[in-house]
């Protein structure tokens, strides 16, 4: 790229961002080296869903690791950040089936093959939206290594993992009660269920006793399932029911007889202490049913409709319609005791929010306990570290009571389960490829399992399959295990835990060293962002309005480990101002670098030069340290304050006299500091830093590949920092006195000082040019005692008395007269206008516009009068 020295007058992020994000990719700057002699740093991107579009959670989840990987790259690591997308079975099904429904079609009508064709077309057309957004965000990913969880390599790896786990008894098939979403028409794993507290009803139903008079009352929230009851259960020590043990009841609305059983798991406090048992439609009842050998009567099918077994009267009804009907029939027969309001947690599908239905069916499961053991150990022993560390506790809690994982889904978009069923002898064959004949009976009548695997099954393999596993590729050898996994707390179980288990099982190694858990992005009032609240902040809109750098910096500055982020547009606005500040300061520096060449001569360093070099050294140390610990907010805060306050507000002002005097060393320092500032800024604000850096005389190909500054111990200069601090305190005090007394900033003043410290006296004397420039002082006089009878504005700095003699600025008597005259003139003007406004002819005849203007004018004059009176009062107080 051709270098031009001068920056545009105003920073316009959009074209700059477009230019560099394209340049970085075209020039392959983020492509990892393999093989390489350099030390490596590697990460895999949490693959966003192909259906995804960038939201704030993504923006955070992609920005923070980008800061780390850019920083590591600049430190000289051979970095790999591998991108890709997830095929997201349910999400894609929802999108496509919705559009099919609009055309009065369904996947069943189309058939598997046709449906998959549509899904692939959709993926190829729209699946790349999030990829473009990632590039726009500046995420420095290696696009040559992009993967998809349904690509060929993945299919092979997934089959291999399935076959191996099956052959070791870690995958099994079972007839089991699972969660099913009637809307998505698939089963879900336990953690795909969202439990939400809801207002509901508790129905008390009388079950007549068989051999004696009376009845036992059971309480239930789901009366429609009573049609599938196969027992009533009570606690063995519940005195109310001791006599009923072993008796039978007749199940209302059916003509079935069911036993009363006892079990310790029945809660005596719930309802009446007697509960109905429906093994086919409730998880606890399922367990009870197995132990007590109860029949499993399925009354609700997979789409939420009542089955034949529910009885002639109810079959075909939707489960909730059936509930109403059961209740009204019970009322009619006098078997409904009462209905109470009841609040309890109800499980919903995490994708479509439909109430889930426990469903008895043949499914595939992963036996988790043996896999969890090793995964617990590596975290306990610190091989894998959670940041912040308290997340490890959450991880252990879940791992310690882990359930087997239901991995089959009644969907088509995904990895089809590599299991075949012999139609002749019922043998199950699990294999990498379709077998030609049954290995048991030798006949060829085989049918593959219709289901696909849970999407998380393939994502659990993400860190090593992306590196080429099961092949021992150079990438696998070099970059696996990865160094950092940065993700949200909501997928610790879905994803992080399973990656650890699968990584250990199939590679014998941990998949990553550090797990950084992001906070949640909330609005400025700390509320969760949601469509219904209307408080969603769209990152794409923020990039348009304030620039991508401002968005990134906002997220970094708010990322305190363990805390949620409270994001507001004000913050973005603030960091856009920061970008502008950097831009303007850089313009100043670049303009001063033109012409005569800079050259650094240690002997010619000014106090300000020594100070800024020392300060920068400390900041570099602190930023490196903060990033080592993933303290993004701390690093961002240091960078921000150093650039804005120390560099822009102080150094740029302090260096002006030296520049004026043609000091080549100060010029060189100014250039060096700007160069290093851009380097430490780059991971946070990659675009503006690259743009400015490319204008520096010493710029290379890209700032993204330049080295990150290291703190050089010999640059630290305690003495210079100490001395400059004193001068700063003095300047700040003079500025404060000026402001408090409303002295105009342009007004030059004399500065009187009184103090005994000889060192400081010498310092003031030697460095008076700084005080003169930054406090707008004409001359500085040091007194043993201030002359009497002078009007002085006074202050104190350390052991020094500070004074500004007023008479040097203006004659107080004259100023008093001037202000008095001003006030009487304003008063006259006001009277004249008020007289007109009180004249009814004027009000009636003058155009409305003229009357309005007169009113506004009166207001202005009134304000001016108040201000002038304040100034006069101040002068009078000094006289």
Question: Which CB sits closer to Zn ion, 407 or 485?
Answer: 407
In the list 6, 425, 591, 661, the residue contacting Zn ion (rule: CB under 5 A) is 425
Under 8 Å CB-to-CB from 705, ≥6 apart: which residues? 29, 73, 74
Question: Which CB sits closer to Zn ion, 181 or 607?
Answer: 181
In the list 219, 288, 349, 619, the residue contacting Zn ion (rule: CB under 5 A) is 349
Question: Which CB sits closer to Zn ion, 420 or 512?
Answer: 420
Please tell me the distance from the alpha carbon of residue 371 to that of residue 161, in angstroms, as a whole number: 13
- Using rule CB under 5 A, residue 181 touches Zn ion: yes
Question: Which CB sits closer to Zn ion, 354 or 580?
Answer: 354
- Using rule CB under 5 A, residue 187 touches Zn ion: no
Q: Smallest gap, in angstroms, from Cβ of residue 456 to Zn ion?
A: 16
In the list 184, 696, 704, 774, the residue contacting Zn ion (rule: CB under 5 A) is 184
In the list 313, 383, 385, 424, the residue contacting Zn ion (rule: CB under 5 A) is 424
CA atoms within 13 A on the CB side of 115: 23
Q: Smallest gap, in angstroms, from Cβ of residue 530 to Zn ion?
A: 19
Q: Smallest gap, in angstroms, from Cβ of residue 182 to Zn ion?
A: 8
Question: Which CB sits closer to Zn ion, 80 or 349?
Answer: 349
Q: Smallest gap, in angstroms, from Cβ of residue 441 to Zn ion?
A: 3
- Using rule CB under 5 A, residue 440 touches Zn ion: yes
Please tell me the distance from the alpha carbon of residue 282 to that of residue 344, in angstroms, as a whole number: 15
Question: Which CB sits closer to Zn ion, 209 or 352?
Answer: 352
Question: Which CB sits closer to Zn ion, 352 or 833?
Answer: 352
- Using rule CB under 5 A, residue 441 touches Zn ion: yes
Total count of residues recorded for the chain: 879
Q: Smallest gap, in angstroms, from Cβ of residue 193 to Zn ion?
A: 10
Show the CA angle centred on residue 432, arms to residues 430 and 434, nearest 5°: 75
Q: Among 869, 870, 866, 872, which residue's Cα sits nearest to residue 817? A: 872
- Using rule CB under 5 A, residue 352 touches Zn ion: yes
- Candidates 39-47, 344-352, 721-729, 774-782 — which segment interacts with Zn ion by CB under 5 A? 344-352
- Candidates 173-181, 316-324, 549-557, 840-848 — which segment interacts with Zn ion by CB under 5 A? 173-181
List phi, psi (to 5°) of 446.
-115, 145
Question: Which CB sits closer to Zn ion, 425 or 828?
Answer: 425
What burial class does residue 431 get, using C-beta atoms within 10 Å of its C-beta: 0-12 exposed, 13-18 middle, 19+ buried? Answer: middle
Q: Smallest gap, in angstroms, from Cβ of residue 115 to Zn ion?
A: 17
- Using rule CB under 5 A, residue 210 touches Zn ion: no
- Using rule CB under 5 A, residue 346 touches Zn ion: no
Q: Smallest gap, in angstroms, from Cβ of residue 423 to Zn ion?
A: 8
- Candidates 307-315, 432-440, 469-477, 513-521 — which segment interacts with Zn ion by CB under 5 A? 432-440
Question: Which CB sits closer to Zn ion, 240 or 353?
Answer: 353
Number of residues that bind Zn ion (CB under 5 A): 14
Bond prior to 481 in cis (omega within 30° of 0): yes
Q: Smallest gap, in angstroms, from Cβ of residue 434 to Zn ion?
A: 15
Question: Which CB sits closer to Zn ion, 101 or 441?
Answer: 441
Please tell me the distance from the alpha carbon of residue 10 to that of residue 656, in angstroms, as a whole number: 22
- Candidates 103-111, 342-350, 645-653, 796-804 — which segment interacts with Zn ion by CB under 5 A? 342-350
Under 8 Å CB-to-CB from 274, ≥6 apart: which residues? 216, 217, 218, 219, 232, 233, 234, 241, 260, 266
Please tell me the distance from the alpha carbon of residue 518 to that of residue 141, in angstroms, as a whole number: 19
List phi, psi (to 5°) of 533.
-80, -20
CA separation (Å) from 326 to 316, 338, 597, 659, 765? 14, 14, 92, 91, 97
Q: Smallest gap, in angstroms, from Cβ of residue 180 to Zn ion?
A: 9
CA atoms within 13 A on the CB side of 737: 24
Within 353-412, the residues that bind Zn ion by CB under 5 A are: 354
- Candidates 189-197, 410-418, 422-430, 567-575 — which segment interacts with Zn ion by CB under 5 A? 422-430
Q: Smallest gap, in angstroms, from Cβ of residue 254 to Zn ion?
A: 30
Q: Smallest gap, in angstroms, from Cβ of residue 49 to Zn ion?
A: 15
188: left (phi over 0), alpha (psi -120 to 50) or beta: beta
Q: What is the dihedral of CA 337, 340, 345, 351, to 10 degrees?
A: 90
Question: Which CB sits closer to Zn ion, 313 or 424?
Answer: 424
Under 8 Å CB-to-CB from 136, ≥6 apart: which residues? 17, 21, 540, 543, 548
Q: Smallest gap, in angstroms, from Cβ of residue 358 to Zn ion?
A: 14
- Using rule CB under 5 A, residue 422 touches Zn ion: yes
User: How many beta carbons lie within 10 A of that of residue 820, not counting itself?
Assistant: 14
- Candidates 210-218, 292-300, 436-444, 863-871 — which segment interacts with Zn ion by CB under 5 A? 436-444
- Candidates 9-17, 204-212, 261-269, 430-438 — which segment interacts with Zn ion by CB under 5 A? 430-438
Q: Smallest gap, in angstroms, from Cβ of residue 407 to Zn ion?
A: 17
Q: For residue 124, how far is the Cα from the chain centroid? A: 27
Please tell me the distance from the alpha carbon of residue 233 to that of residue 152, in angstroms, as a whole number: 52
Show the CA angle centred on residue 453, arms to residues 451 and 455, nearest 5°: 135
Please tell me the distance from the alpha carbon of residue 140 to that of residue 564, in angstroms, as a whole number: 25
Question: Which CB sits closer to Zn ion, 300 or 670?
Answer: 300
Q: Smallest gap, in angstroms, from Cβ of residue 388 to Zn ion?
A: 33
- Candidates 230-238, 360-368, 414-422, 760-768 — which segment interacts with Zn ion by CB under 5 A? 414-422
Please tell me the distance from the alpha carbon of residue 546 to that of residue 12, in angstroms, as a whole number: 10
Q: Smallest gap, in angstroms, from Cβ of residue 184 to Zn ion?
A: 3
Question: Which CB sits closer to Zn ion, 352 or 536?
Answer: 352
Show the CA angle centred on residue 14, arms to residues 11 and 16, nearest 5°: 70
In the list 249, 438, 585, 861, the residue contacting Zn ion (rule: CB under 5 A) is 438
Q: Smallest gap, in angstroms, from Cβ of residue 181 to Zn ion?
A: 3
Q: Among 604, 385, 395, which residue's Cα sits nearest to residue 516? A: 385
Question: Which CB sits closer to Zn ion, 191 or 851?
Answer: 191
Q: Is 682 helix (H, G, I), strand (E, B) or coil?
A: coil
- Candidates 294-302, 348-356, 700-708, 745-753 — which segment interacts with Zn ion by CB under 5 A? 348-356
List phi, psi (to 5°) of 335.
-100, 0
Bond prior to 470 in cis (omega within 30° of 0): yes
Question: Which CB sits closer to Zn ion, 141 or 181?
Answer: 181
In the list 19, 173, 183, 761, the residue contacting Zn ion (rule: CB under 5 A) is 183
Please tell me the distance from the alpha carbon of residue 763 to that of residue 753, in angstroms, as a whole number: 13
- Using rule CB under 5 A, residue 676 touches Zn ion: no
**b/e map 481-512, b = 16+ CB within 10 Å:** bbbbbbbbeebbbbbbbbbbbbbbbbbeebbb
Q: Smallest gap, in angstroms, from Cβ of residue 446 to Zn ion?
A: 8
Point out which residues bind Zn ion (CB under 5 A): 181, 183-184, 349, 351-352, 354, 422, 424-425, 427, 438, 440-441
């Amino acid at each position: 790229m051709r270098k031009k020295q001068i920056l545009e007058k105003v920073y316009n992020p959009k074209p700059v961002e477009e230019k560099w994000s394209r340049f970085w990719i075209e020039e392959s700057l983020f492509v990892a080296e393999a093989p390489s002699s350099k030390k490596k740093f590697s990460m895999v991107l949490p693959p966003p869903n192909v259906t995804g579009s960038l939201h704030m959670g993504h923006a955070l989840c992609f920005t923070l690791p980008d800061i780390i990987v850019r920083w590591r790259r600049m430190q000289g690591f051979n970095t790999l950040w591998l991108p890709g997308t997830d095929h997201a079975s349910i999400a894609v099904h929802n999108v496509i089936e919705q559009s099919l429904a609009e055309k009065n079609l369904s996947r069943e009508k189309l058939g598997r093959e046709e449906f998959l064709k549509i899904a692939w077309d959709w993926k190829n057309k729209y699946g790349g939206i999030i990829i473009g957004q990632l590039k726009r965000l500046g995420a420095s990913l290696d696009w040559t290594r992009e993967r998809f969880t349904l690509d060929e390599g993945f299919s092979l790896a997934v089959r291999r993992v399935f076959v191996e786990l099956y052959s070791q008894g870690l995958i099994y098939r079972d007839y089991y009660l699972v969660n099913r979403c009637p809307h998505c028409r698939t089963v879900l794993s336990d953690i795909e269920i969202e439990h939400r507290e809801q207002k509901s009803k508790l129905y008390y139903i009388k079950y007549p006793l068989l051999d004696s008079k009376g009845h036992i009352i059971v309480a239930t929230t789901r009366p429609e399932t009573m049609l599938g009851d196969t027992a009533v259960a009570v606690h063995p020590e519940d005195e109310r029911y001791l006599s009923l043990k072993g008796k039978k009841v007749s199940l209302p609305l059916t003509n079935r007889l069911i036993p009363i059983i006892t079990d310790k798991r029945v809660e005596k406090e719930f309802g009446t202490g007697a509960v109905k048992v429906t093994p086919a439609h409730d998880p606890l009842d399922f367990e009870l049913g197995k132990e007590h050998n109860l029949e499993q009567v399925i009354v609700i099918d997979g789409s939420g409709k009542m089955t034949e077994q529910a009885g002639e009267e109810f079959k075909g009804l939707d489960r909730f319609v059936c509930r109403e009907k059961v209740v009204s029939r019970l009322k009619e027969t006098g078997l409904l005791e009462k209905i109470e309001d009841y609040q309890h947690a109800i499980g919903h599908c995490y994708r479509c929010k439909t109430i889930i239905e426990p469903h008895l069916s043949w499914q595939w499961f992963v036996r988790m306990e043996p896999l969890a053991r090793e995964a617990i150990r590596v975290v306990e022993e610190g091989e894998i570290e959670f940041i912040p560390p308290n997340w490890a506790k959450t991880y252990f809690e879940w791992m310690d009571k882990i359930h087997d994982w239901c991995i089959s889904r009644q969907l088509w978009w995904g990895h089809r389960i590599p299991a075949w069923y012999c139609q002749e002898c019922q043998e199950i064959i699990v294999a990498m490829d379709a077998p030609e004949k049954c290995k048991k009976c030798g006949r060829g009548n085989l049918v593959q399992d219709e289901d696909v695997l849970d999407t998380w099954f393939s994502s659990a393999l993400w860190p090593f399959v992306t590196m080429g596993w099961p092949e021992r590729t150079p990438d696998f050898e070099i970059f696996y295990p990865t160094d950092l996994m940065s993700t949200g707390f909501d997928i610790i179980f879905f994803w992080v835990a399973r990656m650890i288990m699968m990584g250990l099982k199939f590679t014998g190694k941990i998949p990553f060293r550090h797990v950084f858990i992001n906070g949640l992005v909330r609005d400025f009032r700390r509320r969760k962002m949601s469509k219904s609240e209307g408080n969603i902040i769209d990152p794409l809109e923020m990039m348009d309005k304030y620039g991508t750098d401002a968005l990134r910096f906002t997220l970094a500055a708010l990322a305190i480990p363990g805390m949620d982020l409270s994001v507001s547009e004000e913050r973005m606005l603030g960091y856009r101002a920061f970008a502008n500040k950097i831009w303007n300061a850089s313009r100043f520096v670049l303009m001063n670098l033109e012409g005569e060449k800079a050259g650094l001569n240690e002997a010619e360093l000014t106090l300000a030069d020594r100070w800024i070099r020392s300060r920068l050294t400390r900041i570099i140390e602190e930023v490196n340290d903060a990033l080592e610990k993933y303290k993004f907010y701390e690093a961002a805060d240091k960078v921000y304050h150093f650039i804005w306050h120390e560099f822009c507000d102080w150094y740029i002002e302090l260096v002006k006299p030296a520049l004026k005097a043609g000091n080549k060393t100060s010029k060189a320092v100014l250039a060096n500091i700007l160069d290093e500032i851009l380097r430490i800024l780059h991971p946070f604000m990659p675009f503006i830093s690259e743009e400015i850096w490319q204008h520096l005389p010493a710029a290379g190909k890209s700032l993204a590949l330049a080295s990150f500054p290291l703190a050089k111990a010999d640059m630290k200069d305690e003495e210079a920092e100490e001395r400059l601090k004193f001068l700063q305190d003095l300047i700040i005090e003079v500025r404060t006195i000026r402001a408090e007394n409303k002295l105009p900033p342009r007004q030059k003043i004399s500065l009187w000082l009184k103090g005994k410290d000889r060192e400081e006296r010498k310092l003031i004397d030697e460095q008076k040019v700084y005080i003169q420039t930054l406090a707008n002082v004409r001359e500085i006089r040091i007194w043993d005692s201030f002359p009497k009878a002078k009007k002085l504005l006074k202050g104190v700095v350390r052991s020094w008395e500070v004074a500004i003699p007023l008479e040097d600025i203006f004659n107080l008597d004259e100023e008093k007269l001037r202000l008095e005259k001003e006030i009487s003139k304003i008063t006259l003007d006001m009277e004249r206008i008020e007289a007109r406004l009180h004249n009814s002819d004027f009000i009636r005849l003058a155009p409305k516009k003229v009357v309005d203007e007169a009113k506004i004018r009166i207001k202005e004059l009134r304000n001016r009068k108040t201000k002038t009176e304040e100034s006069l009062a101040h002068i009078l107080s000094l006289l």
